[in-house]
Amino acid sequence: MNAKIHHPLIRVALLDDHEVVLFGMQQLLAADSDIEVAAGFTRIQAFLDYLKSDPSIDVVIVDYNLVPGEDDGLNLIRRIDRYFPHISILVVSSLYIPATVSLALQNGALGYLGKAEAIGHLPAAVRMVHKGEQWLEPRMREKITQAPVVCTPLEHDMPGEMMGVRSSRSADLTAREQEVIRGLLEGSSVTDIALSCHRSIKTISAQKQSAFRKLGVRNNSELFKYRRHIFDDGSACSS
């Protein structure tokens, strides 16, 4: 009889500001013999301190929307990716729109799972990101990779202030401004983006106007007209 092969455990740390969600994920993952939940946290600093103290963590599962006043999800992902490059990042969040998913993946996350989706996929997602592979629900993958349907003007047809936007001015946008612009390009209104991102309409409007000034566009029509020249990857330009 062949000896049973014992695979090393995938050690996971969790971060979510809702204890009931933490408990649910812990119970779900505990049923899998190849996954060990090492710790769960509701506060960012305690979570980061733990990662510093335990270099054996393989995967972190983090929420994108955390306690107001703490670091936002995007900056958290960047910090983990920068200071703990050996750790694979999986986001599990109720904020599940293509703009946010795309930003998370671009900044270090390997997977993104919406809380409204089948949470039973969580163990499979953990295994996939642990292998260095991307996890996305098929419909979301289609949304963020779908080619835009708006025709792009030739460079010589673009006004002077739009020349080189993709390579220069888009790089000047803050992470929050990028999120707003991507949301607009996906057809979301300022109100929709405010609700999804848990920010005020006034804040989203200010970020929109700031981004417009940096991009050299005056209104939504111009934004859509030059959409392919704003972001290199075009991932937010789904129909």
Q: What is the pTM of this model?
A: 0.63
For the stretch 12-60, pLDDT in tens is: 999 999 999 999 999 999 999 999 999 999 999 999 999 999 999 999 9
- The pLDDT tens digits for 178-190 are 888 888 887 788 8
CATH 1.10.10.10 fits 155-229, yes or no: yes
- The residues pairing with 112 across neighbouring beta strands, listed in sequence order, are 91, 136
Please give the C-alpha separations between residue 12 and each of 23, 128, 196, in angstroms, as whole numbers. 14, 13, 27
Choose the CATH number for 10-144 among 3.40.50.150, 3.30.300.30, 3.40.50.2300, 1.10.760.10: 3.40.50.2300
Residues 6+ apart with CB under 8 A from 142: none
Q: Where are the domains of the chain?
A: 10-144, 155-229
